[in-house]
Amino acid sequence: MRIPNFEELEQKQIQQTQSADRDCISWGWLASGTRMHANIYFYKYYWQIFWKGSSCDGHEFLNSSDNVLTTKKAYDLRIKLESENLIHFIYNRNNPRLDSNNPFNPTAERWQGVVWAPAYDDDKDEIGLRGHK
């Protein structure tokens, strides 16, 4: 996992600015996380986007619940940062949804100790990327 660091972020921003082939470089990198599952009812995703406007870096950033975004808010921030050509690192995690219609058995050994997300229909977050909340 890439640990968010303001110094590294600044160096990458300088490299990006100096690059002659800017169209071939991505502004944001998935520093740690998983791809989003196609079925929006199975998992809830939580996001952190580290950029120069973040309040802190390092493990403090990763461990702070203040930096956790919903899918919609993370997508909106990512679009804003990309439109401003600002380097950013993206982190996500997912939690299975506690919903009788999904294939997960919450009593199975595999799911012991897992933090369950609310069922999709009970989730009050705005709908974001590809229907995810």
More confident residue, 56 or 129: 56
**Residue-wise pLDDT tens digits, 49-78:** 999 999 999 999 999 999 999 999 999 999
Tokens linked to 115: 């933090």
Q: Token match 């050509």: residue?
A: 85
How many domains, the chain? 1
Which pLDDT score, from 0 to 100, does residue 25 have?
Answer: 43
Could you tell me if residue 1 is inside a domain?
no
Could you tell me if residue 78 is inside a domain?
yes
What amino acid is encoded at 42 in this protein? F
Domain that holds residue 56: 6-34+41-131
Q: Token match 């989730």: residue?
A: 123
Mean pLDDT across 122-132: 94
Mean per-residue pLDDT over the chain, rounded: 89
Could you tell me if residue 85 is inside a domain?
yes
pTM here is: 0.85
**Residue-wise pLDDT tens digits, 20-57:** 555 444 466 777 888 899 999 999 999 999 999 999 99
